[in-house]
């Protein structure tokens, strides 16, 4: 009995041993093909199309005044939206993770709302609020203020879209860390600020950085929401993605891809940053125990 | 019994952080969304009903749901496969591949949109082969599905990957010593363990696809009744200054999205609780 | 006015349940106190309330006669050692210990040189000078615990509070650290309160043991007092191994329904021949490693199992009995408690010797 069982187990092992490498490379092959077709080729296409008409035209498309204006506006938007939502993210994550209160899950779900709202609807919401026939439209007009089809509208729409990024990165990290180190700091006589800057912040810095990177990528790349509120005024209310759209719709493909390649580069930089952050946090985790 | 009313909190900043969070959340998110629903009610019920049951609107709802669903299914299958390969196998360039999975998160949608359109156009890198077979991808439903698959892929991979990573291989080894072959091990041991994560990833990809605009608008061709997605229809209404109509269509869409969001959060909360118990 | 720490009717409610209920306790300056109890007895909550890490729902806490109930953690200036150490992961050991000195307001903050001297003095005290530049993740559990203590001592607290200080350590390190902590207490003479669920630890280290259960204090006393004169059945059974008898097994006791009899394994006398008050019993398991022999026996009359501990030489005189052997057991010092109806607590009603069982043998 026992020997026959043993033989059977061994033979299964042998069979598995023979099959495993074939299965392994088959699965890897399928996975890589899928990723190649759906993700890598599009990325490659951006740069290939951008350089199709030569490097001279590539740079010409980028330093053209309208393109530069779009780059400026995109940077300005990110420069406002990212810090505002970072500050919110840190404060909200502190309140949510360090205290117990009723309705916490509800609050987290509400913070997630922008993820569930189509970018176009996000834009629409602000048109309905601040547009000429919107709720606050008459009031704004009376004070000679313009939000929709102007820069403030673009910034507000971006704030809405990038709202959850930082706080969603921080909540799981801070939840896992608990609050013992903060309590220890307090028993050692630290003030609230000392506790936050010397203990909490160093502990969440990588997660925070990652959240900021993601938030920034989205702020610079947002298309749908910004498209609705911007009005597409060349040189004035065009962000980089909107500029890409205009060039593309004018069949100026090489220029469209040239400008798009800047955004693709931003995506690559974001991914590299993300890998570094992941590598750093993993190393820290290993050192832990 | 007498009870002290003021709760003692050891760490500082509860009032400040909650106050700030709730005010900012309300101003930035909740009030604007409420305005949308308010606007949708400014038109009469009949008008509302006529707007959202208009042939063209219903066609776009159907198209959006259908293509999003197909894309999410494709992602559930291949996303799980990719997660498996990334967790269980070692191969050259794995780190690079792992980083690449997040590209759809990082890449602006408009860029993805024009790139995919170009590749799958009848004279594009991939589109030309399909063109020889007489299949058109760009400017058809298939194009929409491709764009939505691109957008949703990371959701499934990133949901399944950590669960697979934490899965104790002891269970598989135990099953193997009990005589199970690899197919049985996968479907009886591994699949039930990662199924909640696959479902979460599927739902997230689906929800994202429903609202997607940037990557789809270039590849879809935007033919009314055929390849016109809901977000595009909302923009069309806006350009016609039909704010009530736009709000009505958006309100219906939002309700669907919110239901989905609450289901996902509830589901995650429930599985997290189950995890804690075991 | 009383010096040290005074707790006056201290109560803490979590949800509908009182975690700590109406605690009154005096801790004199320089005392070494153990809060002993099973998990969920409220001992950690009580410790955290003394530190200000948990608020009071009722009652008052005085430090040296001053009402500290409303003071913040920072104001209380206690040294607190967390169960899982709570060392700052991103700081070196030196920085960890120096933290409390570096966060002092500028006018009281020592100079860099003074901080350095103070930190190394403390590291010498905990015998870990050589790890100053390492990170907490590079230390063993016992080393981390010592650093956590050094860090707490750096601010020269008047009170040192330790939450399950050795809970996460293995048996050998735990034993070493007990002696070491006692020494440190003797050297510095700081009022010290520590929480533990290990009765051996409490009895061995503390000057005063506070036994807690269900958020209340069951008994306060020196280790000898609580061990030898337990106030009730809970204290008796929590402080050592016990055999428990109920009902028919207890004779000569009035109100058998509510009475519980306890006897420690080493208080049962075994013999080969029947004695006046002995009971016949069969050996069902013998564990004979070390200087004492442990055995489980079954009473032939009531079929109750009980545990016995005998010294090795006595074991030899009993022919080194094995499983199945028949012996006679004398219950020399049984303590009978009567359960108080409502509180589920009990009090001693009588202390009986062998007669309690005699009629059955």
Q: Are residues A233 and A253 in the same domain?
A: yes
Q: Are residues A150 and A284 in the same domain?
A: yes
Q: Are residues A41 and A107 in the same domain?
A: no
Residue ranges of chain C whose pLDDT lies below 50? 1-2, 341-350, 353-361
Q: Are residues A215 and A95 in the same domain?
A: yes
> CB of C246 within 8 Å of any CB in chain B?
no
Q: Are residues A27 and A102 in the same domain?
A: no
Neighbours of chain C (3+ CB pairs under 8 A): A, B
B268: confidence class by pLDDT, cuts 50, 70, 90: confident
Distance from CA of C78 to the nearest CA of B (A): 14
Closest among A231, A227, A239 to A71, alpha carbons compared:
A239
Q: Are residues A150 and A87 in the same domain?
A: yes
B171: confidence class by pLDDT, cuts 50, 70, 90: confident
Q: What digits encode the pLDDT tens for the residues B236-264?
A: 998 888 888 999 999 999 999 889 888 88
Which residue of chain C comes nearest to A182, CA vs CA? C86
Interface contact A199-C53, CB threshold 8 A? no
pTM: 0.84
Nearest to A45 among B98, B118, B253 (CB): B118
- Average model confidence (pLDDT) across chain B: 89
Residues of chain B in contact with residue A221, where contact means CB-CB under 8 angstroms, are 106-111
Residue spans of the domains in chain C: they are: 5-235, 242-360
| Structure confidence at residue B6 (pLDDT) | 43
> CB of C57 within 8 Å of any CB in chain B?
yes
Q: What is the CATH number of the domain that holds A258?
A: 1.10.3720.10
Q: Tally C-beta pairs within 8 A across A and B.
A: 277
**Could you please report the per-residue DSSP string of chain A?**
-HHHHHHHHHHHHHHHHHHHHHHHHHHHHHHHHHHIIIIIHHHHHHHHHHTTT-HHHHHHHHHSHHHHHHHHHHHHHHHHHHHHHHHHHHHHHHHHHH---TTHHHHHHHHHHHHHS-HHHHHHHHHHHHSTTSTTHHHHHHTT---TTSHHHHHHHHHHHHTTHHHHHHHHHHHHH-SHHHHHHHHTT--HHHHIIIIIHHHHHHHHHHHHHHHHHHHHH--HHHHHHH---TTTS--HHHHHHHHHHTT-HHHHHHHHHHHHHHHHHHHHHHHHHHHHHHHHHHHH-
| Structure confidence at residue A285 (pLDDT) | 56
Closest among B107, B193, B206, B192 to B155, alpha carbons compared:
B206
| Structure confidence at residue B278 (pLDDT) | 47
Please say if the pLDDT value at position B190 is more than 90.
no
Average pLDDT on B6-21 reads: 83
Indicate the SS3 state at residue C39.
Answer: coil
A22: confidence class by pLDDT, cuts 50, 70, 90: confident
Q: Are residues A27 and A131 in the same domain?
A: no
CB-CB contact of C51 with C132 (8 Å): no
Q: Are residues A133 and A238 in the same domain?
A: yes
- ipTM associated with this complex: 0.89
Question: Tell me, which fold does domain C5-235 have in CATH?
Answer: Rossmann fold (3.40.50)
| Structure confidence at residue A21 (pLDDT) | 80
Q: Mean pLDDT lowest for which of A230-234, B94-98, C115-119?
A: A230-234
Residues of chain A in contact with residue C104, where contact means CB-CB under 8 angstroms, are 189
Sheet holding C334-339, edge to edge: C243-246, C259-263, C334-339, C346-352
| Structure confidence at residue B179 (pLDDT) | 77
Interface contact C86-A203, CB threshold 8 A? no
Closest among B230, B224, B226 to B211, alpha carbons compared:
B230
Residues of chain C in contact with residue B2, where contact means CB-CB under 8 angstroms, are 58
Interface contact C103-A289, CB threshold 8 A? no
Interface contact A188-C155, CB threshold 8 A? yes
> CB of C51 within 8 Å of any CB in chain B?
no
Please say if the pLDDT value at position A11 is more than 90.
no
Q: Tally C-beta pairs within 8 A across A and C.
A: 68
Domain span including residue A32: 1-50
Nearest to B10 among C53, C56, C58 (CB): C53
| Structure confidence at residue B8 (pLDDT) | 60
Q: Which helix (DSSP H) or strand (DSSP E) does residue C31 occupy?
A: none
Q: Which whole-number Å values give the CA distances from B222 to A95, B60, B213, C171, in the listed order?
A: 45, 10, 11, 73
**C contact set with A (CB within 8 A):** 51, 53, 72-74, 77-80, 82, 84, 86-90, 99-100, 103-104, 135, 137-138, 151-152, 154-155
| Structure confidence at residue B86 (pLDDT) | 94
Residues of chain A in contact with residue C14, where contact means CB-CB under 8 angstroms, are none
Interface contact C57-B10, CB threshold 8 A? no
Distance from CA of C57 to the nearest CA of B (A): 6
Q: Which residues of C191-212 are buried (b: 16+ CB within 10 A; e: fewer)?
A: bbbbbbbbbebbbebbebbbbb
| Structure confidence at residue A184 (pLDDT) | 95
Q: Are residues A112 and A212 in the same domain?
A: yes
Average pLDDT on B199-210 reads: 93
Residues of chain A in contact with residue B118, where contact means CB-CB under 8 angstroms, are 45, 49, 253, 257
Distance from CA of B246 to the nearest CA of A (A): 8
Please say if the pLDDT value at position A4 is more than 60.
no
Neighbours of chain A (3+ CB pairs under 8 A): B, C
Q: Would the CA dihedral through A83, A84, A87, A89 be positive or negative?
A: negative
| Structure confidence at residue B167 (pLDDT) | 84
Counted domains in chain A = 2
Residues 6+ apart with CB under 8 A from C159: C5, C50, C63, C76, C78, C79, C190, C191, C192, C193
Which residue of chain B comes nearest to C56, CA vs CA? B8
Interface of B with A in 101-140 (CB under 8 A): 101-112, 114-116, 118-119, 125-126
Picking from C45, C48, C78, C88 by the largest number of A CB atoms within 10 A of its own CB, the best residue to mutate is C88
Distance from CA of B211 to the nearest CA of A (A): 4
- Domains of chain B are 42-277 (1.10.3720.10)
| Structure confidence at residue A205 (pLDDT) | 92
CB-CB contact of A183 with C83 (8 Å): no
Indicate the SS3 state at residue C144.
Answer: helix
Closest among C1, C2, C4 to C190, alpha carbons compared:
C4
Identify the architecture of domain C242-360 in CATH.
Beta Barrel (2.40)
Range ranked top by mean pLDDT from B89-93, B175-179, C341-345? B89-93
Picking from B5, B10, B13 by the largest number of C CB atoms within 10 A of its own CB, the best residue to mutate is B10
Please say if the pLDDT value at position B80 is more than 50.
yes
Residues of chain C in contact with residue A185, where contact means CB-CB under 8 angstroms, are 88, 99, 103
């Amino acid at each position: 009995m026992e020997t026959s069982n043993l033989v059977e187990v061994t033979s299964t092992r042998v069979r598995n041993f023979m099959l495993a490498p074939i299965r392994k490379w088959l699965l890897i092959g399928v996975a890589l093909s899928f990723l190649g077709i759906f993700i890598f080729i599009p990325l490659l296409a951006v740069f290939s199309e951008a350089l199709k008409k030569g490097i001279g035209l590539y740079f010409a498309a980028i330093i053209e005044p309208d393109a530069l204006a779009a780059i400026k506006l995109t940077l300005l938007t990110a420069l406002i939206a990212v810090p505002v939502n970072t500050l919110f993210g840190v404060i909200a994550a502190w309140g949510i993770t360090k205290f117990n209160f009723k309705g916490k899950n509800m609050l987290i779900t509400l913070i997630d709302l922008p993820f569930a709202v189509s970018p176009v609807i996000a834009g629409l919401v602000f048109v309905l609020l601040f547009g000429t026939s919107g709720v606050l439209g008459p009031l704004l007009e009376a004070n000679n203020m313009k939000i929709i089809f102007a820069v403030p509208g673009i910034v507000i729409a971006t704030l809405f879209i990038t709202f959850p990024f930082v706080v969603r990165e921080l909540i799981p990290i801070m939840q896992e860390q608990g609050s013992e180190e903060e309590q220890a700091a307090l028993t050692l006589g630290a003030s609230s600020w000392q506790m936050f800057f010397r203990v909490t912040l160093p502990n969440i810095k990588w997660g925070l950085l990652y959240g900021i990177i993601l938030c920034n990528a989205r702020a610079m790349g947002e298309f749908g929401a910004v498209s609705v509120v911007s009005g597409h005024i060349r040189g004035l209310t065009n962000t980089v993605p909107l500029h890409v759209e205009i060039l593309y719709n004018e069949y100026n493909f090489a220029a469209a891809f040239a400008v798009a390649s800047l955004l693709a580069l931003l995506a690559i930089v974001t991914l590299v940053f993300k890998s570094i952050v992941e590598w750093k946090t993993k190393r820290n985790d290993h050192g832990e125990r | 019994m007498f009870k002290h009313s003021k709760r003692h909190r050891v760490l500082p900043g509860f009032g400040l952080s909650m106050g700030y969070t709730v005010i900012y959340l309300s101003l930035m998110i909740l009030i604007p969304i409420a305005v949308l629903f308010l606007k949708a009610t400014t038109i009469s019920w009949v008008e509302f009903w006529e707007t959202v049951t208009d042939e063209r609107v219903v066609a776009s709802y159907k198209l959006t749901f259908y293509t999003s669903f197909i894309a999410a299914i494709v992602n559930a299958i291949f996303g799980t496969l990719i997660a498996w390969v990334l967790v269980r196998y070692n191969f050259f360039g794995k780190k690079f591949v792992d980083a690449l999975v997040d590209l759809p998160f990082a890449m602006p949608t408009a860029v993805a949109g024009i790139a995919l359109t170009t590749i799958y156009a009848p004279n594009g890198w991939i589109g030309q082969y399909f063109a020889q077979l007489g299949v058109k991808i760009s400017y058809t439903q298939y194009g929409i599905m491709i764009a939505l698959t691109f957008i949703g892929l990371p959701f499934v991979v990133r949901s399944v990957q950590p669960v697979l990573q934490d899965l104790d291989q002891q269970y598989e080894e135990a099953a193997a010593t009990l005589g199970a072959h690899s197919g049985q091990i996968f479907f009886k041991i591994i699949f039930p363990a990662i199924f909640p994560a696959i479902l979460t990833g599927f739902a997230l990809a689906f929800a994202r696809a429903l609202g997607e605009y940037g990557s789809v608008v270039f590849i879809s061709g935007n033919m009314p009744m055929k390849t016109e997605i809901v977000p595009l229809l909302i923009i069309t209404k806006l350009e016609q200054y039909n704010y009530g109509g736009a709000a009505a269509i958006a309100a219906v869409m939002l309700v669907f999205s919110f239901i989905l969001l609450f289901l996902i959060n509830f589901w995650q909360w429930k599985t997290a609780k189950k995890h804690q118990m075991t | 006015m009383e010096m040290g720490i005074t707790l006056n009717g201290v109560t803490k409610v979590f949800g509908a349940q009182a975690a700590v209920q109406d605690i009154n306790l005096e801790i004199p300056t320089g005392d070494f106190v153990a809060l002993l109890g099973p998990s969920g007895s409220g001992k950690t909550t009580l410790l955290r309330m003394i530190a200000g890490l948990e608020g009071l729902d009722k009652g008052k806490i005085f430090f040296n006669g001053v009402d500290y109930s409303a003071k913040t953690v920072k104001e209380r200036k206690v040294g607190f050692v967390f169960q899982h150490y709570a060392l700052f992961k991103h700081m070196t050991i030196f920085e960890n210990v120096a933290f409390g000195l570096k966060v002092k307001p500028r006018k009281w903050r020592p100079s860099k040189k003074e901080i350095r001297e103070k930190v190394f003095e403390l590291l010498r005290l905990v015998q870990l000078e050589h790890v100053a530049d390492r990170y907490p993740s590079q230390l063993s559990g016992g080393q981390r615990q010592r650093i956590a203590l050094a860090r707490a001592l750096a601010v020269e607290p008047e009170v040192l509070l330790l939450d399950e200080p050795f809970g996460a350590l293995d048996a050998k390190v735990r034993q070493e650290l007990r002696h070491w902590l006692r020494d440190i207490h003797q050297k510095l003479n700081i009022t010290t309160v520590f929480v533990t669920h290990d009765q051996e630890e409490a009895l061995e280290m503390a000057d005063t043991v506070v036994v807690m259960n269900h958020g209340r204090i069951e008994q306060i006393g020196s280790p000898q007092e609580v061990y030898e004169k337990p106030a009730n059945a809970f204290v008796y059974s929590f402080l050592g191994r016990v055999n428990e008898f109920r009902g028919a097994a207890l004779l000569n006791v009035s109100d058998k329904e509510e009475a519980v009899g306890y006897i420690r394994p080493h208080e049962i006398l075994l013999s080969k021949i029947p004695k006046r008050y002995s009971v016949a019993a069969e050996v069902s398991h013998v564990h004979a490693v070390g200087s004492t022999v442990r055995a489980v026996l079954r009473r032939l009359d009531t079929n109750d199992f009980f545990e016995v501990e005998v010294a090795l030489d006595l074991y030899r005189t009993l022919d080194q009995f094995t499983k199945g052997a028949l012996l006679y057991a004398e219950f020399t010092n049984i303590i009978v408690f009567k359960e108080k109806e409502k509180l589920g607590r009990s009090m001693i009603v009588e202390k009986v010797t062998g007669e309690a069982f005699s009629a059955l043998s």
